Amino acid sequence: METDSVEREEQGFCEKTNVEWESSAPDGFRHYNLTKLTIYGFQPNENFMGYIRHVMEAAVNLEDISLYDRKVLECCEDLDPNIKVAPSGYLETIQEQELLKKQITEGLVMKKSAAHNNPQLLVDRFTKLPDDLLLNILDRLNTPDAVRTCLLSKRTIHLRHLLSNLDISVDSFVPHYYGYYATSKDAIQIQMNAAVSDATDNILNFRNQEIPLRQLTICFYLKYYDCLTIGKAVARAMATHNLDSAEFIILTGNRAQHCSIDDLRHNGKQLMTFFGACTDAFAGLTRLHLRNLRLAETDILNIIATCKRLEYLRLSMCQTEDSVLQMKFEHPRLVELNISSAGLELVELSSLPNLKRLVFSLWNCPQEPLSFGNVPLLSSLSLTDESMRWQKVIRLSQFLPNVLSIRDLHLNFSSEKIWVQPECPKLLAHVLRNLQVLNLDELPEGCDIAWTRFFIEAAPVLKELCITVWDHWCEMETDSVEREAQGFCDKTNVEWESSAPDGFRHYNLTKLTIYGFQPNDNFLGYIRHIMEAAVNLEDVSLYDRKVLECCEDLDPKIKVAPTGYPETI
C-alpha cells in the first residue's frame, strides 16, 4: 500500500469509508447451502462478531467457521518502523478463544417462529441428536476436534468426558500462525508435543473409571519428558480400563533422508530410556510404530517381547548396529508386520502363528531377504525394492515354499529392474494355488509386460490383476554417473516363454486393471491374450500413467516420454 498521505492524495487514493447497505431479505431469511465460513484478519469486536452471528443465524447448514489473525507474509518483516500498524487483538490463549465461542453462540437472539409466533432458540441441528448418536459421530473424529466440538454448546459439553475412542496427535495442535511467522521447526515441534502431553495427561487422569475406554491412539515426538508424561498417563489408564486397542506412533524430529548415523543412535537411546521408564505402557500396546532409530538387536527383541498384546508392528528406518545383520521375529499375537529400510541381510520370521499381513520394503542384501518359518495364516504379502545389478532375482517357488496361504500379493519394482524370475506353473502351483488378488506396481516404462502372464498360468483361482507401468522420476536416480556408481541397471525386457498348453483357459480371472496404458502392441497384444485366456473376464479398466503432486516439481531437464493415452471418446 501507499502509506504517505501526500502521495495518496496526489495519486487519487480514497479514505476509508463504510459501504452503505441495507438487507432486502425477508425476515427469517435462511440459506441452505453455505457450509463453510473463513475469515482472515478477525478481530474480537462487534463488527466481526455481529457479522458471524448473522451468518450463523441465516446459514442453517453451516458446518465450519474458521477465524484467523491477519496474514503476515515474509515481505511484511521488512516494514518501515515509521508505519503505524494497528495492533492485533486476535486471541492467543485457549481460554480467550473459548470465551469468544461462548460470546458468539450465546449472542444469537431469540427468534419468533413464523408458524406459532412463539420464541424459539436457534439451535444447531447437530445438538438436537440423541447422546448415543452424537457420541458415535464424535468418536470418529480425532479427540481434540471432538472436544472442541463439544465445547460449542452447553447441550454437548458433557459429552467430552464420555468419548470411548481417544485419538490424540501432534497434527491436531499445529499453531494457527504456522507458516505466517518465521518460527523454527524445533520450536513448533516442542509446542505441539507439549500440547499432546498435556491433553493426554488431562483427559486420562480426570476420566471417570466407570466410563469405558475402548481405543487409544497417541502420536507424539520422541522428547523424553513429554514421553514420560504420556507413558505414565497411558499406563494408569491401562490399569483401570479394559482397552481393546492401544497405539503409540512415535515420531522423530527429522525425516529419514536427513538423519545421520549419530541421529539414529541418539533416537535409539532416547527410545530405550523411554521404554525403560514406561514398560507398563508398552506391555499393554496392541499397535506400535517406530521410525528413524538405530538399536542393538537385543533392544528390538526386548521391546517386542515386552509388548505381549502387540498385534501390529511397523518399523521404518529402524536399523541395528553394523555387527548385527540378521533378525529373528517371534511373537504369539502379532497379526501385521511392516518393515522398511531395515539394513538387514536376513529377517527370520521364526514363529508368528497369527501373522496375516506382511509388508517388507527396500532390502540391502544380494540374496532373498526373508526366511519364513511358522506363519500358517500369512495371506497378504507386499514386497518393494529397487533391485541393483548385484542383487539376485527371486524365485518365488524357492522363496515361499512354506507359505501356502497367500491370497493377496503386491510386488513393487520401483520403476527399476524386475527382481522376480518367471517360472513354469508346475514349480509355482503349490505357492500360488490360493492367490486371488495380484498387484504388480511400478514396472519400468518401455519394457515388455508379457512376462507377467506367468502368474495367470500358475494361479488358478486368481480373480483380480492390476498392473502399473510407470517411471516415477520423483523417486528415481536420473544421473547416469550416479546410477552406474550405485549399481542401478539399464532397462531390459524380461525373457520369458509361455509353458501353458495350446488353448490354455483361466476360469476365475474377472478383472484386469492397467495404469500407464499406451495404445501400442505391447499393451494391446497383452490385453488380447488375457481376454482370450480368461473366459469369464468381466471388467477391463485402462488408465493413463499415474501423476502425483510431487511430479509437478520435476526437473524440466528430465525427458519424460509423452503419453499416448487416448483423450477423446
Residue spans per domain, the chain = 25-122, 127-163, 394-569
pLDDT tier at 181 (50, 70, 90 boundaries)?
very low
C-alpha cell at 478: 536420473
pLDDT at 117 over 50: no
Backbone angles phi, psi at 560, to 5 degrees: -90, 130
Contact 464, 506 (CB under 8 A): no
Q: Which of 58-72, 95-109, 418-432, 555-569 bottoms out in mean pLDDT, i.e. has the lowest?
A: 95-109
Please tell me the predicted confidence (pLDDT) of residue 538.
96
pLDDT tier at 432 (50, 70, 90 boundaries)?
very high
C-alpha cell at 301: 527383541
Helix axis angle, 94-106 to 46-58, nearest 10° = 60
Strand partners, 358: 337, 381
pLDDT tier at 122 (50, 70, 90 boundaries)?
very low
pLDDT digits (tens, 9 = 90+) for 139-148: 988 899 888 8
pLDDT tier at 180 (50, 70, 90 boundaries)?
very low
> How many CB atoms are closer than 10 A to CB 194?
18
C-alpha cell at 459: 494361479
pLDDT at 87 over 90: no
Using DSSP's 3-state secondary structure scheme, residue 101 falls into: helix
C-alpha cell at 541: 479398466
| SS3 of the chain: helix, strand, coil, percent, to 5 | 35, 20, 45
C-alpha cell at 113: 417462529
Percent of the chain with pLDDT over 70: 86
Nearest CA to 104 out of 54, 140, 161, 159 is that of 54
Average pLDDT (305-309) is 96
Higher pLDDT, 85 or 521: 521
Q: Report how far apart, in Å, the C-alpha atoms of 529 and of each of 149, 440, 498, 503 are.
A: 56, 18, 11, 11
pLDDT at 14 over 70: yes
Using DSSP's 3-state secondary structure scheme, residue 346 falls into: strand
pLDDT at 98 over 90: no
Please tell me the predicted confidence (pLDDT) of residue 395.
95
Average pLDDT (6-35) is 85
Using DSSP's 3-state secondary structure scheme, residue 100 falls into: helix
Higher pLDDT, 424 or 24: 424
Q: Which residues are CB-neighbours of 272 under 8 A, at least 6 positions away?
A: 295, 299
CA angle 515, 521, 524 (to 5 degrees): 55
